[in-house]
Amino acid sequence: MRRLLVAALVAVSGWAGVPVAAADTGDLTYGCAMPDVGAVSLGVVVREQLPVRAWPRVPTAPFLVSTEVSVPAEVAAALRADGVRAVRGHLELSVAFADEARGVGGDIPETAVPDEGGFAFTAHGVFPRHVFDVALGLTEFSAGEATVTWSVSDGRQWSEPVEFGCAPAPGQDRVMGAVRVDNVIDERPPRPVITRTATDPGTVTVEWTASSTLLPIRDYAVYVGHDVVATVLQPRATITGLRPDTEYPVTVRSRDTIGQESDASVPVFVRTAPDRLVYRVTGAAVLGPWRADLPVAGALSATLDGGTLTATGALDASSATVWGGMRVAVEFGPAEITGALADGVLTGRLTTTLSAPTISWFGTPHPTPDCRAAAPVDIPLSGPLTGVSGAFTMPEFVGCGWLTGYVNTAFAGTGTLRVGLASNP
Protein backbone atom coordinates (compact mmCIF):
# COMPACT_ATOMS: atom_id res chain seq x y z
CA MET A 1 0.00 0.00 0.00
CA ARG A 2 1.38 3.40 -0.92
CA ARG A 3 2.06 5.75 1.94
CA LEU A 4 0.24 8.93 1.05
CA LEU A 5 0.32 12.05 3.13
CA VAL A 6 -1.88 15.11 3.21
CA ALA A 7 -0.33 18.34 4.46
CA ALA A 8 -1.90 20.04 7.45
CA LEU A 9 -0.76 23.58 7.81
CA VAL A 10 -1.01 25.96 10.71
CA ALA A 11 -0.41 29.70 10.76
CA VAL A 12 -0.80 32.41 13.37
CA SER A 13 -2.97 35.48 12.99
CA GLY A 14 -4.55 38.10 15.19
CA TRP A 15 -5.52 41.68 15.80
CA ALA A 16 -3.57 44.79 16.71
CA GLY A 17 -4.38 47.04 19.58
CA VAL A 18 -8.03 46.18 20.35
CA PRO A 19 -9.64 43.13 21.93
CA VAL A 20 -11.60 40.98 19.49
CA ALA A 21 -12.98 37.46 19.50
CA ALA A 22 -10.94 34.77 17.75
CA ALA A 23 -11.41 35.15 13.99
CA ASP A 24 -10.70 33.17 10.85
CA THR A 25 -7.58 34.08 8.92
CA GLY A 26 -7.59 34.60 5.19
CA ASP A 27 -7.30 31.51 3.03
CA LEU A 28 -3.85 30.32 2.09
CA THR A 29 -2.81 27.80 -0.54
CA TYR A 30 0.11 25.46 0.03
CA GLY A 31 1.68 23.22 -2.56
CA CYS A 32 2.97 19.77 -1.69
CA ALA A 33 4.75 17.14 -3.78
CA MET A 34 2.98 14.10 -2.39
CA PRO A 35 4.43 10.62 -2.89
CA ASP A 36 2.71 8.74 -5.73
CA VAL A 37 0.29 11.62 -6.28
CA GLY A 38 2.40 14.55 -7.41
CA ALA A 39 1.74 18.23 -6.88
CA VAL A 40 -1.39 19.02 -4.89
CA SER A 41 -2.85 22.22 -3.47
CA LEU A 42 -4.62 22.41 -0.14
CA GLY A 43 -6.83 25.14 1.29
CA VAL A 44 -6.16 26.22 4.85
CA VAL A 45 -8.06 28.39 7.33
CA VAL A 46 -6.29 29.22 10.59
CA ARG A 47 -7.88 30.40 13.82
CA GLU A 48 -5.95 31.72 16.79
CA GLN A 49 -6.16 33.40 20.18
CA LEU A 50 -3.36 35.94 19.86
CA PRO A 51 -2.92 38.27 22.83
CA VAL A 52 -3.95 41.86 22.25
CA ARG A 53 -0.59 43.22 23.36
CA ALA A 54 2.73 42.24 24.85
CA TRP A 55 5.26 44.10 26.97
CA PRO A 56 8.98 44.21 26.18
CA ARG A 57 11.01 41.60 28.07
CA VAL A 58 7.87 40.18 29.75
CA PRO A 59 6.98 36.58 28.79
CA THR A 60 3.70 36.14 26.99
CA ALA A 61 1.41 33.26 27.87
CA PRO A 62 1.10 30.37 25.40
CA PHE A 63 -1.95 30.68 23.16
CA LEU A 64 -4.06 28.39 21.01
CA VAL A 65 -3.54 28.09 17.25
CA SER A 66 -5.82 25.83 15.21
CA THR A 67 -5.95 24.91 11.56
CA GLU A 68 -8.84 23.71 9.43
CA VAL A 69 -7.54 21.90 6.36
CA SER A 70 -9.64 20.96 3.33
CA VAL A 71 -8.35 17.91 1.46
CA PRO A 72 -9.60 18.03 -2.15
CA ALA A 73 -11.53 15.22 -3.75
CA GLU A 74 -8.68 14.17 -6.07
CA VAL A 75 -6.33 13.61 -3.12
CA ALA A 76 -9.00 11.68 -1.22
CA ALA A 77 -9.64 9.58 -4.34
CA ALA A 78 -5.95 8.69 -4.55
CA LEU A 79 -6.01 7.63 -0.92
CA ARG A 80 -9.11 5.51 -1.45
CA ALA A 81 -7.57 3.88 -4.52
CA ASP A 82 -4.71 2.73 -2.31
CA GLY A 83 -7.11 1.22 0.20
CA VAL A 84 -6.61 3.97 2.77
CA ARG A 85 -9.47 4.22 5.22
CA ALA A 86 -8.08 6.66 7.80
CA VAL A 87 -5.20 9.07 8.32
CA ARG A 88 -3.47 10.64 11.31
CA GLY A 89 -0.25 12.50 12.01
CA HIS A 90 1.47 15.66 13.16
CA LEU A 91 2.22 19.05 11.65
CA GLU A 92 4.89 21.65 12.31
CA LEU A 93 4.77 25.11 10.75
CA SER A 94 7.53 27.70 10.84
CA VAL A 95 6.03 30.99 12.02
CA ALA A 96 8.22 34.05 11.40
CA PHE A 97 8.06 37.21 13.51
CA ALA A 98 10.49 39.97 14.54
CA ASP A 99 13.40 38.39 12.65
CA GLU A 100 12.81 35.09 14.43
CA ALA A 101 11.04 31.86 13.59
CA ARG A 102 9.23 29.49 15.90
CA GLY A 103 7.67 26.13 15.15
CA VAL A 104 4.02 25.59 16.01
CA GLY A 105 3.17 21.89 16.16
CA GLY A 106 -0.05 20.00 16.71
CA ASP A 107 -1.47 16.52 16.28
CA ILE A 108 -3.67 15.70 13.33
CA PRO A 109 -6.47 13.55 14.76
CA GLU A 110 -7.42 10.22 13.27
CA THR A 111 -9.72 11.11 10.38
CA ALA A 112 -11.74 8.76 8.20
CA VAL A 113 -11.38 8.94 4.42
CA PRO A 114 -14.94 8.99 3.03
CA ASP A 115 -16.21 6.83 0.19
CA GLU A 116 -16.52 9.86 -2.08
CA GLY A 117 -15.56 13.53 -2.12
CA GLY A 118 -12.93 15.29 -0.07
CA PHE A 119 -12.58 15.57 3.67
CA ALA A 120 -11.39 18.01 6.29
CA PHE A 121 -9.78 17.96 9.71
CA THR A 122 -8.75 20.41 12.41
CA ALA A 123 -5.40 20.28 14.18
CA HIS A 124 -4.77 22.25 17.37
CA GLY A 125 -1.39 23.51 18.52
CA VAL A 126 0.03 25.96 21.05
CA PHE A 127 2.31 28.88 20.27
CA PRO A 128 4.82 28.74 23.12
CA ARG A 129 5.71 31.33 25.72
CA HIS A 130 7.82 34.10 24.21
CA VAL A 131 9.70 37.23 25.30
CA PHE A 132 9.53 40.17 22.87
CA ASP A 133 12.81 42.06 23.06
CA VAL A 134 12.00 44.47 20.26
CA ALA A 135 11.22 48.09 19.65
CA LEU A 136 7.73 49.24 20.51
CA GLY A 137 5.10 48.85 17.83
CA LEU A 138 3.47 46.06 15.86
CA THR A 139 5.11 42.67 15.55
CA GLU A 140 3.83 40.78 12.53
CA PHE A 141 3.40 37.02 12.27
CA SER A 142 3.88 35.25 8.94
CA ALA A 143 3.31 31.66 7.88
CA GLY A 144 6.33 29.82 6.50
CA GLU A 145 7.10 26.34 5.26
CA ALA A 146 5.51 23.29 6.84
CA THR A 147 6.78 19.86 7.77
CA VAL A 148 4.13 17.16 7.74
CA THR A 149 4.26 13.66 9.17
CA TRP A 150 1.47 11.24 8.29
CA SER A 151 0.48 7.60 8.76
CA VAL A 152 -2.33 5.86 6.90
CA SER A 153 -4.50 2.91 7.84
CA ASP A 154 -6.17 0.30 5.68
CA GLY A 155 -8.62 -0.47 8.49
CA ARG A 156 -6.39 -3.14 10.03
CA GLN A 157 -3.03 -1.54 10.73
CA TRP A 158 -1.19 1.76 10.46
CA SER A 159 1.76 2.41 8.18
CA GLU A 160 5.06 3.76 9.38
CA PRO A 161 5.00 7.58 9.46
CA VAL A 162 6.38 9.43 6.45
CA GLU A 163 7.63 13.02 6.52
CA PHE A 164 7.74 15.63 3.76
CA GLY A 165 7.54 19.38 3.33
CA CYS A 166 5.06 21.85 1.90
CA ALA A 167 5.53 25.48 0.91
CA PRO A 168 3.13 28.41 0.52
CA ALA A 169 2.23 29.20 -3.06
CA PRO A 170 4.05 32.30 -4.39
CA GLY A 171 2.41 35.70 -4.49
CA GLN A 172 0.36 35.33 -1.31
CA ASP A 173 0.25 37.74 1.59
CA ARG A 174 1.57 35.45 4.31
CA VAL A 175 1.28 38.03 7.12
CA MET A 176 -1.29 36.43 9.39
CA GLY A 177 -1.61 39.07 12.10
CA ALA A 178 0.24 41.26 14.56
CA VAL A 179 0.71 41.84 18.29
CA ARG A 180 1.25 45.34 19.65
CA VAL A 181 4.34 45.60 21.84
CA ASP A 182 4.16 48.61 24.18
CA ASN A 183 4.42 49.78 27.78
CA VAL A 184 0.77 50.76 28.16
CA ILE A 185 -0.97 49.68 31.37
CA ASP A 186 -3.62 47.14 30.44
CA GLU A 187 -6.92 47.92 32.16
CA ARG A 188 -8.63 44.80 30.87
CA PRO A 189 -9.34 41.86 33.19
CA PRO A 190 -6.48 39.39 33.64
CA ARG A 191 -6.69 36.08 31.81
CA PRO A 192 -8.24 33.27 33.88
CA VAL A 193 -6.15 30.24 34.87
CA ILE A 194 -7.81 26.84 34.48
CA THR A 195 -7.13 24.87 37.66
CA ARG A 196 -9.17 21.68 37.37
CA THR A 197 -10.81 19.47 34.76
CA ALA A 198 -12.99 16.36 34.96
CA THR A 199 -14.54 14.31 32.18
CA ASP A 200 -17.33 11.90 31.34
CA PRO A 201 -17.87 10.36 27.88
CA GLY A 202 -19.79 13.36 26.54
CA THR A 203 -18.94 16.13 28.99
CA VAL A 204 -16.03 18.16 30.32
CA THR A 205 -16.14 20.13 33.57
CA VAL A 206 -13.61 22.93 34.06
CA GLU A 207 -12.86 25.27 36.94
CA TRP A 208 -10.62 28.33 36.92
CA THR A 209 -9.41 31.13 39.14
CA ALA A 210 -11.84 34.00 39.51
CA SER A 211 -10.47 37.13 37.85
CA SER A 212 -9.55 40.03 40.12
CA THR A 213 -9.75 43.50 38.59
CA LEU A 214 -10.73 47.08 39.35
CA LEU A 215 -14.13 46.57 37.76
CA PRO A 216 -16.49 43.73 38.67
CA ILE A 217 -16.44 40.67 36.40
CA ARG A 218 -19.71 40.32 34.51
CA ASP A 219 -19.23 36.82 33.15
CA TYR A 220 -16.86 34.27 31.65
CA ALA A 221 -16.88 32.88 28.12
CA VAL A 222 -15.84 29.24 27.79
CA TYR A 223 -14.37 28.07 24.49
CA VAL A 224 -13.91 24.65 22.95
CA GLY A 225 -11.42 25.36 20.23
CA HIS A 226 -12.48 28.80 19.01
CA ASP A 227 -16.22 28.49 19.57
CA VAL A 228 -17.98 29.85 22.66
CA VAL A 229 -19.88 26.94 24.20
CA ALA A 230 -20.95 28.52 27.50
CA THR A 231 -21.25 31.91 29.18
CA VAL A 232 -21.33 31.61 32.98
CA LEU A 233 -21.30 33.87 36.02
CA GLN A 234 -19.17 31.65 38.27
CA PRO A 235 -15.68 30.22 37.58
CA ARG A 236 -16.94 26.76 36.70
CA ALA A 237 -18.68 25.24 33.68
CA THR A 238 -19.81 21.86 32.41
CA ILE A 239 -19.60 21.44 28.64
CA THR A 240 -21.96 18.87 27.11
CA GLY A 241 -22.55 17.39 23.68
CA LEU A 242 -18.95 16.28 23.10
CA ARG A 243 -17.78 13.04 21.50
CA PRO A 244 -16.45 10.30 23.80
CA ASP A 245 -12.72 9.56 23.85
CA THR A 246 -11.87 12.77 21.99
CA GLU A 247 -9.38 15.50 22.87
CA TYR A 248 -10.57 19.10 22.98
CA PRO A 249 -8.71 22.36 23.67
CA VAL A 250 -10.52 24.45 26.29
CA THR A 251 -9.92 28.12 27.10
CA VAL A 252 -11.72 30.81 29.11
CA ARG A 253 -11.99 34.61 28.83
CA SER A 254 -13.34 36.97 31.50
CA ARG A 255 -15.37 40.09 30.77
CA ASP A 256 -15.95 43.08 33.05
CA THR A 257 -19.04 45.23 33.46
CA ILE A 258 -18.07 47.67 30.69
CA GLY A 259 -17.42 44.88 28.21
CA GLN A 260 -13.63 44.71 28.33
CA GLU A 261 -12.50 41.18 27.60
CA SER A 262 -9.36 39.44 28.81
CA ASP A 263 -6.94 37.48 26.70
CA ALA A 264 -7.74 33.78 26.52
CA SER A 265 -6.42 31.51 29.23
CA VAL A 266 -3.57 29.17 28.47
CA PRO A 267 -5.25 26.29 26.61
CA VAL A 268 -5.86 23.03 28.41
CA PHE A 269 -6.26 19.89 26.31
CA VAL A 270 -8.90 17.59 27.80
CA ARG A 271 -9.82 14.11 26.55
CA THR A 272 -13.36 12.98 27.22
CA ALA A 273 -13.78 9.56 28.79
CA PRO A 274 -14.53 6.58 26.53
CA ASP A 275 -18.18 5.58 26.48
CA ARG A 276 -17.19 1.97 27.12
CA LEU A 277 -14.37 0.65 29.28
CA VAL A 278 -13.19 -2.79 30.30
CA TYR A 279 -12.35 -2.99 33.98
CA ARG A 280 -9.98 -5.66 35.22
CA VAL A 281 -11.13 -6.73 38.66
CA THR A 282 -8.60 -7.95 41.23
CA GLY A 283 -9.06 -8.40 44.96
CA ALA A 284 -10.51 -10.72 47.57
CA ALA A 285 -13.51 -11.33 49.79
CA VAL A 286 -13.21 -12.39 53.42
CA LEU A 287 -16.11 -14.64 54.41
CA GLY A 288 -17.66 -15.81 57.64
CA PRO A 289 -16.47 -16.15 61.21
CA TRP A 290 -13.32 -18.05 60.22
CA ARG A 291 -12.45 -15.33 57.71
CA ALA A 292 -12.05 -17.61 54.73
CA ASP A 293 -10.17 -15.80 51.97
CA LEU A 294 -11.81 -15.92 48.51
CA PRO A 295 -9.76 -14.36 45.66
CA VAL A 296 -11.90 -12.30 43.27
CA ALA A 297 -10.84 -11.52 39.69
CA GLY A 298 -12.43 -11.03 36.28
CA ALA A 299 -13.41 -8.44 33.69
CA LEU A 300 -16.40 -6.12 33.47
CA SER A 301 -17.52 -4.07 30.48
CA ALA A 302 -18.61 -0.63 31.65
CA THR A 303 -20.48 2.37 30.30
CA LEU A 304 -20.53 5.88 31.75
CA ASP A 305 -23.54 8.11 31.31
CA GLY A 306 -23.55 11.46 33.06
CA GLY A 307 -21.50 10.16 35.97
CA THR A 308 -23.49 6.92 36.31
CA LEU A 309 -21.41 3.78 35.88
CA THR A 310 -22.91 0.47 34.80
CA ALA A 311 -20.51 -2.47 34.51
CA THR A 312 -21.44 -6.04 33.64
CA GLY A 313 -19.42 -9.15 32.98
CA ALA A 314 -18.00 -12.29 34.52
CA LEU A 315 -15.87 -13.02 37.54
CA ASP A 316 -13.40 -15.89 37.36
CA ALA A 317 -13.98 -19.16 39.16
CA SER A 318 -12.21 -19.22 42.51
CA SER A 319 -11.87 -21.28 45.67
CA ALA A 320 -11.64 -20.75 49.42
CA THR A 321 -10.02 -22.93 52.04
CA VAL A 322 -11.77 -23.24 55.40
CA TRP A 323 -9.91 -24.66 58.38
CA GLY A 324 -7.34 -26.95 56.83
CA GLY A 325 -9.72 -29.67 55.74
CA MET A 326 -12.47 -28.10 53.62
CA ARG A 327 -11.89 -26.38 50.29
CA VAL A 328 -14.84 -24.90 48.43
CA ALA A 329 -14.74 -24.27 44.67
CA VAL A 330 -16.78 -21.14 43.90
CA GLU A 331 -18.30 -20.03 40.62
CA PHE A 332 -19.87 -16.61 40.10
CA GLY A 333 -22.92 -15.86 38.01
CA PRO A 334 -23.23 -12.67 35.94
CA ALA A 335 -21.85 -9.73 37.89
CA GLU A 336 -23.03 -6.12 37.74
CA ILE A 337 -21.73 -2.94 39.33
CA THR A 338 -23.92 0.16 39.27
CA GLY A 339 -23.32 3.49 40.93
CA ALA A 340 -22.04 7.03 40.71
CA LEU A 341 -18.48 7.69 39.57
CA ALA A 342 -17.08 11.17 40.25
CA ASP A 343 -13.41 12.16 40.20
CA GLY A 344 -12.38 8.51 40.26
CA VAL A 345 -14.46 7.67 43.37
CA LEU A 346 -17.24 5.08 43.08
CA THR A 347 -20.33 4.85 45.25
CA GLY A 348 -22.48 1.92 44.20
CA ARG A 349 -23.29 -1.77 44.51
CA LEU A 350 -22.08 -5.08 43.13
CA THR A 351 -24.57 -7.91 42.65
CA THR A 352 -23.83 -11.47 41.62
CA THR A 353 -24.75 -15.07 42.41
CA LEU A 354 -22.56 -17.79 43.88
CA SER A 355 -22.49 -21.55 43.49
CA ALA A 356 -20.16 -24.21 44.86
CA PRO A 357 -20.01 -27.10 42.33
CA THR A 358 -17.30 -29.00 44.22
CA ILE A 359 -16.40 -29.21 47.91
CA SER A 360 -13.27 -31.05 48.96
CA TRP A 361 -13.37 -32.63 52.40
CA PHE A 362 -9.91 -33.49 53.70
CA GLY A 363 -8.60 -33.95 50.20
CA THR A 364 -11.57 -35.86 48.79
CA PRO A 365 -13.63 -33.89 46.24
CA HIS A 366 -17.42 -34.16 46.50
CA PRO A 367 -19.49 -32.98 43.52
CA THR A 368 -22.22 -30.58 44.69
CA PRO A 369 -23.86 -29.39 41.45
CA ASP A 370 -26.88 -27.88 43.23
CA CYS A 371 -24.95 -26.08 45.96
CA ARG A 372 -25.54 -22.33 45.76
CA ALA A 373 -26.29 -19.20 47.73
CA ALA A 374 -30.05 -19.00 48.21
CA ALA A 375 -30.18 -15.35 47.07
CA PRO A 376 -27.99 -13.01 45.03
CA VAL A 377 -25.12 -11.39 46.86
CA ASP A 378 -25.60 -7.62 47.16
CA ILE A 379 -22.47 -5.73 48.17
CA PRO A 380 -22.37 -1.95 48.72
CA LEU A 381 -19.11 -0.47 47.46
CA SER A 382 -17.39 2.85 47.97
CA GLY A 383 -13.95 4.32 47.48
CA PRO A 384 -11.50 5.12 44.70
CA LEU A 385 -11.41 2.68 41.79
CA THR A 386 -7.97 1.56 42.93
CA GLY A 387 -9.55 0.08 46.06
CA VAL A 388 -13.34 -0.01 46.44
CA SER A 389 -14.61 -1.95 49.44
CA GLY A 390 -17.74 -2.82 51.34
CA ALA A 391 -19.22 -5.05 54.02
CA PHE A 392 -22.10 -7.39 53.21
CA THR A 393 -24.14 -10.32 54.49
CA MET A 394 -23.64 -13.65 52.74
CA PRO A 395 -26.94 -15.48 52.14
CA GLU A 396 -27.26 -19.07 53.34
CA PHE A 397 -26.22 -21.86 51.01
CA VAL A 398 -28.69 -24.55 49.96
CA GLY A 399 -28.44 -27.78 47.96
CA CYS A 400 -25.02 -28.82 49.26
CA GLY A 401 -26.17 -32.18 50.65
CA TRP A 402 -24.60 -33.31 53.90
CA LEU A 403 -22.03 -30.50 53.56
CA THR A 404 -24.66 -27.72 53.67
CA GLY A 405 -24.24 -27.11 57.38
CA TYR A 406 -20.45 -26.97 57.12
CA VAL A 407 -20.58 -24.47 54.25
CA ASN A 408 -22.99 -22.21 56.10
CA THR A 409 -20.92 -22.39 59.26
CA ALA A 410 -17.89 -21.29 57.26
CA PHE A 411 -19.40 -18.75 54.86
CA ALA A 412 -22.77 -17.41 56.00
CA GLY A 413 -22.92 -14.14 57.89
CA THR A 414 -20.86 -11.00 57.59
CA GLY A 415 -18.21 -10.67 54.90
CA THR A 416 -16.08 -7.94 53.38
CA LEU A 417 -14.94 -7.33 49.82
CA ARG A 418 -12.08 -5.18 48.58
CA VAL A 419 -11.23 -4.99 44.88
CA GLY A 420 -9.43 -2.70 42.50
CA LEU A 421 -10.85 -1.75 39.11
CA ALA A 422 -8.24 -0.94 36.46
CA SER A 423 -9.58 0.28 33.13
CA ASN A 424 -8.51 -0.74 29.63
CA PRO A 425 -10.22 1.52 27.06
Every domain of the chain and the residues it spans = 28-181, 194-271, 276-424
Say if 28-181 and 194-271 have the same CATH topology.
yes
Determine the Cα–Cα distance for residues 332 and 298; give it in Å rounded to an integer.
10
Strand order in the sheet with 204-208: 194-199, 204-208, 236-239
10-14, 112-116, 173-177: segment of lowest average pLDDT: 10-14
pLDDT at 214 over 60: yes
pLDDT computed for residue 23 by the predictor: 42
Region 354-380 average pLDDT: 93
* E strands in 113-241: 119-127, 137-153, 162-168, 175-181, 194-199, 204-208, 217-224, 227-232, 236-239
Most confident of 184-193, 226-235, 289-298: 226-235
- For residues 409 and 145, give the distance between their C-alpha atoms in angstroms, rounded to a whole number: 78
Q: What is the pLDDT of residue 323?
A: 72
**pLDDT band at residue 7, thresholds of 50, 70 and 90?**
very low
Give domain 194-271's CATH number out of 2.60.40.10, 2.120.10.80, 2.60.40.1180, 3.20.20.190.
2.60.40.10
For the purposes of burial, counting CB atoms within 10 Å of the CB of 264, is it exposed (0-12), middle (13-18) or buried (19 or more)? buried
pLDDT at 328 over 70: yes
With a threshold of 0.75, does the pTM exceed it? Answer: no
Residue 78 Ramachandran class (φ > 0 left, ψ -120 to 50 alpha, else beta): alpha
Average pLDDT over every residue of 92-120: 89
Q: Is the pLDDT of residue 349 over 90?
A: yes
At 139, the pLDDT band (50, 70, 90 cuts) reads confident
pLDDT of 136 strictly over 80: no
Contact residues for 348 (Cβ-Cβ < 8 A; gap 6+): 309, 337, 338, 339, 340, 341, 380, 381, 382
pLDDT at res. 329: 93
Q: Quote the pLDDT of residue 177.
A: 77
Q: What are 235-290's pLDDT values in tens digits?
A: 999 999 998 889 999 999 999 999 999 999 999 999 987 777 788 889 999 888 87
pLDDT of residue 25: 58
Q: How far apart are the first and last CA of the chain?
A: 29
- The C-alpha atoms of residue 28 and residue 12 are separated, in whole angstroms, by 12
Confidence of residue 135 (pLDDT cuts 50, 70, 90): low
pLDDT at 222 over 90: yes
Q: For the purposes of burial, counting CB atoms within 10 Å of the CB of 134, is it exposed (0-12), middle (13-18) or buried (19 or more)?
A: middle
Examine the pLDDT at 5 and tell me if it is beyond 60.
Answer: no
pLDDT at 11: 29
Work out the mean pLDDT of the chain and round it to a whole number: 85
pLDDT band at 200, cuts 50/70/90? confident
CATH topology of domain 276-424: Porin (2.40.160)
28-181: in CATH 2.60.40 = yes
DSSP three-state, residue 102: strand
Mean pLDDT of 38-54: 85
pLDDT (tens digit, 9 = 90+) per residue, 140-160?
Answer: 888 888 888 989 898 889 999
b/e sequence 93-116, b meaning 16+ C-beta within 10 Å: bebbbeeeeebbbbbbeebebeee
Rounded Cα distance between 336 and 298, Å, is 12
C-alpha 150/C-alpha 129 separation (Å) is: 27
